[in-house]
Each structure stands twice: as structure tokens, then as C-alpha cells.
Structure 1
Amino acid sequence: MDTLKQWKTHFESLNAYQEAVALLYWDMRTHMPEQSAGNRSKSIGFLSTESFRRKTDATYRDLLKRMGEQELEGLERASYMEAHESYVRDSKIPEEEYQEFVTLISEAESVWEKAKDQDDWKMFEPFLEKIVETERRFVEYWGYEDHPYDALLFDYERGMTVEKLDHLFGELRQAIIGLLKRLEGKRFPTLDWSLGKAEQMRLNHEWLNDIGYDFTAGRLDETVHPFQTTINRKDARITTKYDESDYRNSLFGTMHEAGHATYEQGIDPELDSLGLGDGASMGIHESQSLFFENFIGRNRGFLEARFSGLKSTVPSLKDVDFDTFYAAVNEAKPSLIRIEADELTYALHIIIRYELEKRLISGELEVKDLPQEWNRLYGEYLGVTPPNDAKGVLQDVHWSGGSFGYFPSYALGLVYSAQLNEAMRKDIPEIDTLIAEGSFEPIKNWLKENIHRHGRSKTPAELIEGATGEEITVRPLIAYLEQKYSRLVEAL
């Protein structure tokens, strides 16, 4: 068997392990019986470790060496460069420590779910202490130049550093807080957002069908914390959480996850056998979910076209006019829950978590002090204080899964999505008309051509610059938010 064929066979085997683990995780967070958590964690730990071994053992090392001796160009060269970089990083982690970590986070996720439900920080605290301790140790194995958190950012946003994030987030934080001050005293309409679960499920399926989510290559299920997972190239699943007191959370949350899935469904299948069949980064991935949630789902024309359907489903909208509904949907105010935050304040939730993560990984903050610091930053940035830990430090699933370095991706996704929206509007000036008419193919084709099809064959910086003609900047996002909320304020 020649080297390139062996190379592709290697990644096909890794894809098989990845598919098995993804399916187990999906089941764990949707339908798994509670008593199965311990055995499930062991199974995930075993399969993940076997996959890890195949990426670090002597056989793979020899294959990597032989690939490096080939005359490679294009995607094959990108595949080798990506694999070599990952091998250097993975091989620094002792196999037994990796298996212990995977087993730990599998168990910790189930414990977190109970702790959140029971508002019991002390139940989850010892698990998070072990996770943070392991993350700190891994950082030292990997090494870093300026800040230990840079070593974790690499997993989710290649090329991003604390220095760059501090600058971007500092500028964004200042602009958002300034906009919030201008909104002080402004009263958005107050509506009754309650709706039964069955009606929400029907609306979700209608909206997903409208935007062209492919149910023959995915499905929609219920979970505690919404997520999207790719089982394989033809199976990109999404989940949502139904809140009968506020149907907006499910509707826009489902649009968000559909953006992730549409990205996955649009990746060139050829990339799978080259180890490049993933999103370029979590920031790029979030740009797609936030584009669907905000630039389509909250687009005035999109909502106006579906308002009659909403009125026939939601009794409380019977006597509400569209302008009132639109203003209420886009209400901006400080809040406690990240996944329920509005467009304007969402990034502040992410910046708070970023600040906490940096300090946890550098050792400036200990896990036992996390609830107090969480509450302090929410008071400082958003002017609100969580009444309990379930609505505070326990609200997110990410830390239980060891996803340190992930949170900045959400705010970067906002930044990227605004840049892409600005660039797309130059290429497709009639975009608002298309959205109002339900003609989403030109929009999805633009995203597929510029972002989706490339998978991981390009870096986030290369994708953004190629699609927009400029480096990452918060300017389009700030301009978008200022324009949108200035118009809303004038109408109030």
C-alpha cells in the first residue's frame, strides 16, 4: 500500500472512532438512562484513548515521517502540516493521563447536570478542581511563549493569543457598555412569551424546514444544554431546550444549532480522509451558528414573513402588531443566563468567562473562589448578581467537559459573523429581500463557497481575510449593533 493510501486509511479509522464517541456523547446528553453514566464514561474513555494512541504510536510516527518525505501540494500538504502540528502536541501528553482525563470529564458532565439541577456547587467543585489541575499540567507539557492560556486557545482557535483577545475584547466591551448606557431608561415592549412544548416543537421544525436544514442528514432532539454534534458527514444532529415560559430560547437556540449543522453538512467530503473534515476553528463554527441565529433568525424580513404563523400558534400574540413584536424580540438588557442573552449583551457573558479562565489556568484564581468572582464580575460588567449558583457559576456545561479555551470562540464568532455579513452584503446587495422571500440558497451558497467547503484546510485568519478582504476586526460588529439598536431606540 502506498504512503498516501495508508495516510487516508489512517484518518478513515480515526473517523470511525470519532463517530462512535460522538454517538455515545449524543446519547449521554439526550436519552441515556441515569444509571448508565459510570459505564458510559469508561466506554468513552477507552475509545478516546484508543483513538489518541493511533495518533501518537510508533506506526503513525513512521507514517508521518514518510508523508513528510513526499512531494506534497494543495490539500495533501495542508493535511500533513495539520497532522504534524497535532502530533507534536498530542505526543507530549502521557497516554495514561489522557485516558484518566477523558474518563474524568465524562463523569464530571453527569455530575454537573445534577449539581446544576440541585443548585449544589459543592457537589461539582471537586471534579472541577481535578479538571483545572489537569489542564494546568497539560499546559506545561505543551509549553507556551507569553501566557499559559495561549496553549489552550490553540485547540479551538489556531493563531489566537491572549494578547490579541485582550485588545479585541477590550474594544468590544467598551462599545457594548457604552451602548447599554444609551439604552438606560428606554422601555422595550413587554410580551407574554409562554408557549407549550408541543407548539414550540412544531415551530422549530417549520423554521428548520424553511431555511433548508436537511433532516435526511440530521435530526432535532431535546437536551438540558443545547448542542450540535456531527456523527459523520451525513449525520449532523442538533438539540434544543424547551422553556415553556419563553419560547424565544428554543426558537433562536434551534436556529443557532442549525447554523452549526449547516456548516458541517457543507464541508467537502474529500477532506474527511485527509483529517481536514472539521470546522476551521470553534470561532468560525460559532460565526456560522450566530449568522443563522442573528443575521437570519432576527432579521426583520425573516420574522415579518413568519409573524402570521406565529400569531396562529401563540395565543398571546393575537392583538400584537409586528413592530411591537420585533422590538420586544430584540429587547436588550443585562441578564444572568448566557444562552438567553440578547444580541447586545451576549459578548459580555463570554468576556466574563474568558477573564475567569485566564486566571484559573495561570493560578491567579482557585476553583473554590470561582462562585464569588463570578458574581463580582457579573455585578461589574452587567450590573446583576446571580441569586444562586445554578443561575451563576453552574449554568454552563463547558467546564465539566474540560473545554477551557473554548468560551472566547463565542465572542469571536460574533465578530466573524458581522464581518461575513458585511462582506456578503457587498456581493449580494438584495440579501434582505431574499431572506424575506425565503430564498436562502444564494446565502448558503456564499457561505459554502467562502467558509464551509474548506473545512480545516485553511486557518481562521485565512478564511476571514479571504472572504472579507481584511483581518479580524470588531468594527463591523460594533457598527451593526449601533445601527440596529439606534433604530430600535428611535422607535420606542
Structure 2
Amino acid sequence: MSAFDDLMQFQRETEALGQIAGRLGWDQETMMPDGAAPQRAEEHAAMSRVLHARRIDPRVGEWLEKATPVTETDAAQLRHIRRNFEKTAKVPADLAAAIAKTTSLAHRTWAKARAEEDVAAFLPVLSQVVDLMRKKAVAVSDGANSYDALLDDYEPGMTGETLAAMFDALRPRLVALREAILSKPAPAALSQAFDEAGQLALSQKLAKAFGYDTDHGRIDKAVHPFSSGSGLDVRITTRTNPLDPFNCFYSTIHEVGHACYEQGIDRDYLLSPLGSGVSMGVHESQSRIYENQLGRSRAFTGWLFGQMRDQFGDFGIADEDAFYATVNRVSDGFIRTEADEVQYNLHVLLRFDLERALMAGDLAVSDLEAAWNDRFKADFGYAVDMPSNGVLQDVHWSEGLFGYFPTYTLGNVYAGCLNTAMRSAVPSVDADLARGDATTATQWLRENVQRHGGLRTPQDTIIHATGAAPTEAPLLDYLETKFGDIYGL
């Protein structure tokens, strides 16, 4: 066997172990008994040590020196392995294990603190997580910007400065649109309870409509919906709220977008560096375009209206047009994952600025809640009423996912670009969505984005699909057109 073949066989086993580690996380979020948390933390730490050792195995360096790529795919595989090898080698094994163990424990502490509205119970372990992530950032950055080193884990090649410039361009038009909308009468809101069984039954239909393959996946419930796995085993979760079935429906569609990306990757890339999404920004582009540009479109909500009438009977919304406005209703709210398209990115920008300050040492963990509340009041005009609606609402920081939040808005930017290109290439999208059939849209996304996995860099993935470098303009134009129509602006 050649050095390249030896390397790829070794990498295949490493990828398989990574999938097992991911399954531990899925179980922790969905089915693990509370009392198992200390043992699960040890299990996470053990897996982290094994994976860390494999990723910096000296043989990987030797194989990389000797391996000769023959195809574009070979070159891409080596690019990913080399990047991961060099970054991982900079992180001491004890630090990697400490991060895995501490974040596993922190996750359970966060869940309990959130349920009990007890910020003080969470801050000590969050301080430990922040300290560990600062150490990792310093180790990886080689003296460069430490936040960029963490961001690079989720969006390779991206920098905080580039994102800040993009977000600064987004903010004025988003704020102006929000203010214009809130000056108008709001569409009717849902005003009755919707039973959980009915929500879950319809969410199964929605997952199928968007192409989720349940022979290679499953849908469970979790506090914070997520997608897990790649290749032949891709699982999603959703959640229910009796007064807000849209939470269930659009969480499901969102996570199906993530899952379909993983399920759609070329099977030749299975258990290789190319066999998963190329970045979280591109990943989020799939979940957001499924959820919003497709799932919240006038065409698809017309079909969904009929499905809800079949499932729940008359629920107080007169017709398809009124239902479309209700689905896209812009209103005050605290929760990022429940936010409308206009305000969602303002939630992300808040978190981006706070976590950059935490990593830079400009914001102490003890001051985080006050900083969050002050920023939220400034951005949204009203005060946070309780911690679960504020600093405790998201799971990410408990899991050490610093650098992750900005990829949500970057994903929206990518989705805006993809939506423009897709609708130009496939004029029948809305006619098909009106029948509850998202196939033409999802097939275009699979062919132009999903099947390629990690073959190209994130930016090149979007350029390949759309023919142009990504900018925020298509997203802003889409939002202004859509909500200008709904609200008569």
C-alpha cells in the first residue's frame, strides 16, 4: 500500500471513533439518566485522549510527507488531515481531555441551572470552561488572534475582523426593517393549545417532505434541538411547546436541513475528512434555507396550513394568506431559536460580541449576565425577564463552543446567496412547494452543495454553487422584499 492508502485507512478508523464520541453526546442529550453524568464525563475524556493521540500520531506526519495526491479529491483529503494534524498537535493531550471532561459536566450543570433559573450555579463551571478555551486558543493561535483560532474550528479561513465588517453592514438595515415592521399592526398569533402527539406526527411529515431518510436516522426530543452524526447514521432532535407548534415544526425542518447535508454527501467520502459538512457556516446555510426560504415561504405555508387543519381542526386562522403572515409574524421575544427572520441575526450579533470579549479577557464571567442584559435592552428595547430567556438560554458556551455563534448569521448570508441562485436555476420551486414537495429545491442543494462535503473550502463551496463570492446583500434584499410584502411597507 502507498503512504496515501495507509494514511486514509488510519484516518477511516479515526473518523469512526469520532462518530462513536458523537453518539455519546447524542445519548447524553436525549436518553442518558441524570445520575450517569459523572461517568459520562470520564467516558468523554477517555475518548478525547484516544482521538487526540490518533490525530497527532507521528505516523500521520510521516504519511503526509510521503503521500502524493493523484486527484482533486486526494488533495482535499490531505488538506483536511494536514490542517487537523497541525492544529491538534498544538493542544496538549491533558488540556484536550480536561476540556472534554469539564464541558461534559458543564452541560449537565447548565441544564439544571437553566431549569432552576440559577445563574450563580452555572458561573463557576463556565469560568472553568472559559479558562480552558482561552488556553486552547493561545496554544493554537501561535501569537495571532486567539478568537480567530477558535473560529477557525467552525469556519476555516474566516476571521473575527471579516465577520465584524459583514455584521456591521447587516445591522443598520436589519434595525431599520425591524423598526418599520413593529410600527405596523401585527398579524394574528396562534391562541390555542396544540397537543404534543399531533405536533410530533406532523413533524414526521415535514421531515419526510424535506427528504430526511429515517432508514438512516431518527427523531427524538431534546431541550435544545440538534443534529448528530454523518453518513449512514444521522440523527436529529426537536422539541414541543403546546402553545407554539411552530417551535416544533421549524426546529424539525431546521435540523432536517443539517441532517440532509450529511446524508447527501457522496458515499465515496464515508468515514473520511470529506464525509461531513465543510463548515458550520455552510451547514447552517442548509438548515436556514430549509427552514426559512423554503419552509416559511408563501407556497409551502399554504400547504402546511392544510396539514394543520387536518391534524388539529380549526385553529383560528382564517386562510392561507393569514397563516403565511402568522408563520412570519415579527414580535418581541427573548429566544434566539424562536426568533423571526428579521430579528434572529440581532440575537447572534449579541453573542458574537460577548464571546469575543470573554476570550479576549475584556469581559469577566462574573459580569456576563449583566453585560448580556444591558446589550439585550439596548438592541431590543426591553429587559430580560429571567435567566432562561437570557444568558442561560443557549447550550453552546457550556460545551466550549466559542466561535460557533457567528456561523449562524454567516449561514444566513450563505443561504441568501444560495436561494437567489436556486430560484434562478429552478423556476418551479414554488409550484412544487405549494404541493408540499420540496424535492426540486433539495435536489438542487444536494447537487450543488451537499454531495461535495468537504471537497472545497467554505467560501469556494458557495462560489461553486452560486457563481459569485458570498455577500450579505441577497439576504437583506430577500428580507426587505418578503416582509415589506407581508407588512405593506
Contact 1:21/1:44 (8 A) holds in 2: yes
Q: Which moved more, 1:207-216 or 1:453-462?
A: 207-216
In structure 1, the residue matched to 2:179 is 181
Does residue 1:66 correspond to 2:92, yes or no? no
Q: Which amino acid aligns with 2:169?
A: E
1:344-363 equivalences under 5 Å are 344-363=342-361
Aligned residue for 1:479, secondary structure, equals helix
In structure 2, the residue matched to 1:161 is 159
Q: Which amino acid aligns with 1:295?
A: Q
Query: Whole-Å Cα distance in 2 between the matches of residues 250 and 319 of structure 1?
Result: 18
Q: Cα–Cα, structure 1 residues 299 and 93, in superposed 2: closer, same or farther, change >3 Å?
A: same
Q: Which moved more, 1:113-122 or 1:301-310?
A: 301-310
Does residue 1:203 correspond to 2:202, yes or no? yes
Query: Whole-Å Cα distance in 1 between the matches of residues 283 and 192 of structure 2?
Result: 29
In structure 1, the residue matched to 2:337 is 339
Aligned residue for 1:136, secondary structure, equals helix
Q: Which moved more, 1:334-343 or 1:249-258?
A: 334-343
In structure 1, the residue matched to 2:7 is 7
Q: Which amino acid aligns with 2:74?
A: E
In structure 2, the residue matched to 1:125 is 123
Displacement of 1:413 after TM fit?
A: 0.8
In structure 1, the residue matched to 2:220 is 221
Query: Whole-Å Cα distance in 2 between the matches of residues 465 and 244 of structure 1?
Result: 42
Which of the residues 242, 251, 254 maps onto 2:252?
254
Contact 2:212/2:260 (8 A) holds in 1: yes
**Could you state the TM-score of these two structures normalised by the residue count of structure 1?**
0.96
Query: Whole-Å Cα distance in 1 between the matches of residues 265 and 163 of structure 2?
Result: 28
Q: Which moved more, 1:290-299 or 1:183-192?
A: 183-192
Q: Which moved more, 1:313-322 or 1:359-368?
A: 313-322
Query: Whole-Å Cα distance in 1 between the matches of residues 32 and 163 of structure 2?
Result: 38
1:309-388 equivalences under 5 Å are 309-315=307-313, 317-318=315-316, 320-388=318-386
Deviations 1:90-115 (A, max 9, x none): 10111111111111111111111001
Q: Cα–Cα, structure 1 residues 462 and 198, in superposed 2: closer, same or farther, change >3 Å?
A: same
Displacement of 1:323 after TM fit?
A: 1.9
Q: Which moved more, 1:267-276 or 1:464-473?
A: 267-276
Contact 2:216/2:232 (8 A) holds in 1: yes
Query: Whole-Å Cα distance in 2 between the matches of residues 361 and 122 of structure 1?
Result: 20
Moved over 4 A (4+): none
Does residue 1:461 correspond to 2:453, yes or no? no
Query: Whole-Å Cα distance in 1 between the matches of residues 317 and 333 of structure 2?
Result: 28
Q: Which moved more, 1:310-319 or 1:480-489?
A: 310-319
Does residue 1:299 correspond to 2:297, yes or no? yes
Contact 2:3/2:63 (8 A) holds in 1: yes
Contact 2:203/2:249 (8 A) holds in 1: yes
Displacement of 1:318 after TM fit?
A: 5.0
Q: Which moved more, 1:381-390 or 1:405-414?
A: 381-390
Q: Which moved more, 1:189-198 or 1:163-172?
A: 189-198
Contact 2:235/2:259 (8 A) holds in 1: yes
In structure 1, the residue matched to 2:17 is 17
In structure 1, the residue matched to 2:264 is 266
Query: Whole-Å Cα distance in 1 between the matches of residues 267 and 8 of structure 2?
Result: 13
Q: Cα–Cα, structure 1 residues 286 and 319, in superposed 2: closer, same or farther, change >3 Å?
A: closer
Aligned residue for 1:152, secondary structure, equals helix
Displacement of 1:247 after TM fit?
A: 0.8
Contact 2:301/2:323 (8 A) holds in 1: no
Contact 1:279/1:456 (8 A) holds in 2: yes
Contact 1:112/1:397 (8 A) holds in 2: yes
Contact 2:114/2:392 (8 A) holds in 1: yes
Q: Which amino acid aligns with 1:464?
A: I
Query: Whole-Å Cα distance in 1 between the matches of residues 153 and 261 of structure 2?
Result: 19
Aligned residue for 2:434, secondary structure, equals helix
Aligned residue for 1:225, secondary structure, equals coil
Aligned residue for 2:236, secondary structure, equals strand
Deviations 1:283-312 (A, max 9, x none): 000000001101121111111123222113
Displacement of 1:396 after TM fit?
A: 0.3
Displacement of 1:190 after TM fit?
A: 2.8
Displacement of 1:48 after TM fit?
A: 2.0
In structure 2, the residue matched to 1:477 is 475
Q: Cα–Cα, structure 1 residues 389 and 77, in superposed 2: closer, same or farther, change >3 Å?
A: same
1:115-154 equivalences under 5 Å are 115-143=113-141, 147-154=145-152
Aligned residue for 2:249, secondary structure, equals helix
In structure 2, the residue matched to 1:389 is 387
Does residue 1:80 correspond to 2:88, yes or no? no
Query: Whole-Å Cα distance in 1 between the matches of residues 136 and 80 of structure 2?
Result: 20
**Could you state the TM-score of these two structures normalised by the residue count of structure 2?**
0.97
Q: Which moved more, 1:304-313 or 1:176-185?
A: 304-313
Which of the residues 93, 96, 106 maps onto 1:95?
93
In structure 2, the residue matched to 1:408 is 406
Displacement of 1:316 after TM fit?
A: 5.1
Query: Whole-Å Cα distance in 2 between the matches of residues 47 and 375 of structure 1?
Result: 37
Does residue 1:35 correspond to 2:26, yes or no? no
Q: Cα–Cα, structure 1 residues 227 and 101, in superposed 2: closer, same or farther, change >3 Å?
A: same
Displacement of 1:278 after TM fit?
A: 1.3
Contact 2:210/2:442 (8 A) holds in 1: no
Contact 1:350/1:410 (8 A) holds in 2: yes
Q: Which amino acid aligns with 2:349?
A: I
Q: Cα–Cα, structure 1 residues 71 and 354, in superposed 2: closer, same or farther, change >3 Å?
A: closer
Displacement of 1:405 after TM fit?
A: 0.1
Identity of aligned residues (%): 36
Query: Whole-Å Cα distance in 1 between the matches of residues 432 and 273 of structure 2?
Result: 35
Q: Which amino acid aligns with 1:86?
A: N
Deviations 1:299-354 (A, max 9, x none): 11111123222113234525622222211111112321111101110000000000
Query: Whole-Å Cα distance in 2 between the matches of residues 294 and 277 of structure 1?
Result: 26
Q: Which moved more, 1:40-49 or 1:140-149?
A: 140-149
Displacement of 1:12 after TM fit?
A: 1.5
Query: Whole-Å Cα distance in 1 between the matches of residues 289 and 65 of structure 2?
Result: 40
Contact 2:210/2:253 (8 A) holds in 1: no
Query: Whole-Å Cα distance in 1 between the matches of residues 116 and 385 of structure 2?
Result: 14
Q: Which amino acid aligns with 1:217?
A: H
Query: Whole-Å Cα distance in 2 between the matches of residues 174 and 264 of structure 1?
Result: 35
Displacement of 1:448 after TM fit?
A: 1.4
For structure 1, the 5+ residue unaligned runs are none
Displacement of 1:134 after TM fit?
A: 1.2
Query: Whole-Å Cα distance in 2 between the matches of residues 60 and 41 of structure 1?
Result: 28
Contact 1:149/1:405 (8 A) holds in 2: yes
Query: Whole-Å Cα distance in 2 between the matches of residues 206 and 278 of structure 1?
Result: 25
Aligned residue for 2:341, secondary structure, equals coil
In structure 2, the residue matched to 1:57 is 57
Displacement of 1:273 after TM fit?
A: 4.6
Query: Whole-Å Cα distance in 2 between the matches of residues 236 and 314 of structure 1?
Result: 30
